[in-house]
């Protein structure tokens, strides 16, 4: 009996893949019960049957990371997912990834998945709105939202976006910049509202007036178009605080296209850390929450799961790291 148990525990996903002559990726997608898996139902059944025959046993509990209303490959969220996976692994939890759009068919799939009770808890990130909040909260499954809302009665972890924008703007002011643009996405998202508040606070503390024309909002978070709009409206600026690195990268592309040198003529500072930061030329200057700090998402969720205490609370991530990059210089 003991020997049979050893053989049972020794069976791996690779063993199942070799047994069936299929890819390990397909086996992982099925055994991890990835909601957005494209594996056919026929292959799925074969994998589950083979796992049963070979005595495969998966004992690790599962969490699900939902990226809501954002492309699955959005570079801003991939770093978050990796940080979540690292922390979850340390607690012997596995993490599934689910990309959910704000569409009826996606909500039906998510509702079905929530009812299945196949995971112990959910971490939800992306463009969080009232629709997804209500669905998750009413499911009674342990959850943590990452950003998107400060609504009372909801369990959420948020970056202190106001503090970050304040720090970034204050830094640009210390370098002699006075006409600093503030470029953000939709004001339906709390992160952008708070970013503007932090930007204005830095000006007010420096006893400097805020030129409202320098604050530009774009629903699509298209930095290229935001920069182009300012040029067409003849709004001069020597620096810009960008609410995320996607906006920042777009602004950089527009300025370079126009023959404007960064940072010699215009400085750019952003918020967050993504692959764009180091892939860009020049590399982007940014403030960001160190990924390991985001482990609080997992710790808070697991605590709620294991202690069975679901009292909602708001936690702030307010310790930021500065990445110098190459897009900021003293104002000339």
Q: List the chain domain ranges.
A: 2-54, 62-159+292-317, 161-289
Mean pLDDT value across residues 35-60 = 77
Q: What is the pLDDT of residue 57?
A: 65
Q: What is the pLDDT of residue 232?
A: 96
Statement: residue 204 has pLDDT above 60: yes
Cα–Cα nearest to 217, from 187, 241, 189, 188: 187
Q: What is the CATH number of domain 62-159+292-317?
A: 3.40.50.2300
Query: Of 131-135, 155-159, 242-246, which has the strongest mean pLDDT?
Result: 242-246
Statement: residue 4 has pLDDT above 50: no
Statement: residue 10 has pLDDT above 70: no
Statement: residue 212 has pLDDT above 50: yes
Mean pLDDT value across residues 301-326 = 83
Query: Of 61-70, 76-85, 292-301, 311-320, which has the strongest mean pLDDT?
Result: 61-70
Q: What is the pLDDT of residue 43?
A: 87
Query: Of 13-17, 30-34, 186-190, 234-238, which has the strongest mean pLDDT?
Result: 234-238
- Is residue 320 within 8 A of residue 163, CB to CB? The reply is yes
Query: Of 10-24, 194-208, 219-233, which has the strongest mean pLDDT?
Result: 194-208
Q: What is the pLDDT of residue 35?
A: 55
Q: What is the CATH number of domain 161-289?
A: 3.40.50.2300
Question: For residue 96, what pLDDT band results from cuts at 50, 70 and 90?
Answer: confident
- pLDDT averaged over every residue in the chain: 85
Mean pLDDT value across residues 198-204 = 97
Q: What is the pLDDT of residue 59?
A: 59
Query: Are domains 62-159+292-317 and 161-289 of this chain identical in fold?
Result: yes
- The residues, any chain, with a CB within 8 Å of residue 308's CB and separated by 6 or more, are none
**More confident site: 26 or 145:** 145
- Is residue 43 within 8 A of residue 22, CB to CB? The reply is yes
Q: Does domain 2-54 have CATH number 1.10.260?
A: yes
Query: Of 282-286, 291-295, 301-305, which has the strongest mean pLDDT?
Result: 282-286
Q: What is the pLDDT of residue 5?
A: 40
Q: What is the pLDDT of residue 2?
A: 39
Q: What is the pLDDT of residue 117?
A: 74
Statement: residue 8 has pLDDT above 50: no
Q: What is the pLDDT of residue 330?
A: 95
DSSP 185: -
Burial of 52 (0-12, 13-18, 19+ CB in 10 A): exposed
Question: For residue 58, what pLDDT band results from cuts at 50, 70 and 90?
Answer: low
Burial of 23 (0-12, 13-18, 19+ CB in 10 A): exposed
Statement: residue 323 has pLDDT above 90: yes
Burial of 113 (0-12, 13-18, 19+ CB in 10 A): buried
Question: For residue 15, what pLDDT band results from cuts at 50, 70 and 90?
Answer: confident
């Amino acid at each position: 009996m003991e020997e049979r148990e050893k053989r049972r525990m020794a069976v791996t996903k690779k063993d199942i893949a070799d047994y069936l002559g299929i890819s390990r990726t397909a086996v992982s997608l099925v055994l991890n019960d990835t909601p957005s898996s494209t594996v056919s139902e026929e292959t799925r059944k074969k994998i589950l049957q083979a796992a049963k025959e070979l005595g495969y046993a998966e004992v690790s509990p599962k969490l699900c990371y939902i990226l809501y209303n954002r492309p699955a490959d959005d570079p801003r969220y991939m770093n978050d997912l990796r940080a979540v996976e690292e922390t979850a692994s340390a607690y012997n939890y596995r993490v599934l990834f689910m990309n959910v759009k704000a569409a009826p068919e996606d909500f039906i799939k998510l509702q079905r998945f929530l009812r299945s009770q196949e995971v112990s808890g959910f971490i939800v990130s992306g463009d969080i709105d009232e629709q997804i909040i209500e669905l998750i909260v009413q499911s009674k499954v342990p959850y943590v939202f990452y950003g998107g809302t400060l609504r009372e009665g909801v369990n959420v972890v948020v970056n202190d976006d106001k503090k970050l924008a304040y720090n970034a703007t204050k830094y640009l002011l210390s370098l002699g910049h006075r006409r600093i643009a503030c470029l953000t996405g939709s004001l339906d998202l709390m992160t952008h509202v708070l970013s503007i508040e932090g930007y204005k606070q830095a000006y007010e503390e420096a006893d400097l007036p805020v030129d409202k024309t320098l604050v530009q909002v774009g629903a699509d978070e298209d930095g290229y178009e935001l920069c182009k709009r300012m040029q067409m409206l003849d709004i001069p600026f020597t620096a810009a605080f960008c609410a995320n690195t996607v906006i920042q990268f777009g602004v950089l592309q527009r300025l370079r296209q126009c023959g404007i040198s960064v940072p010699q003529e215009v400085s750019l500072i952003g918020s967050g850390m993504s692959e764009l930061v180091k892939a860009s030329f020049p590399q982007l200057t940014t403030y960001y929450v160190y990924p390991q700090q985001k482990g609080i998402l997992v710790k808070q969720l697991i605590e709620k799961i294991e202690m069975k205490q679901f009292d909602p609370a708001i936690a702030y991530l307010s310790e930021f790291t500065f990445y110098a990059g190459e897009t900021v210089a003293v104002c000339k």
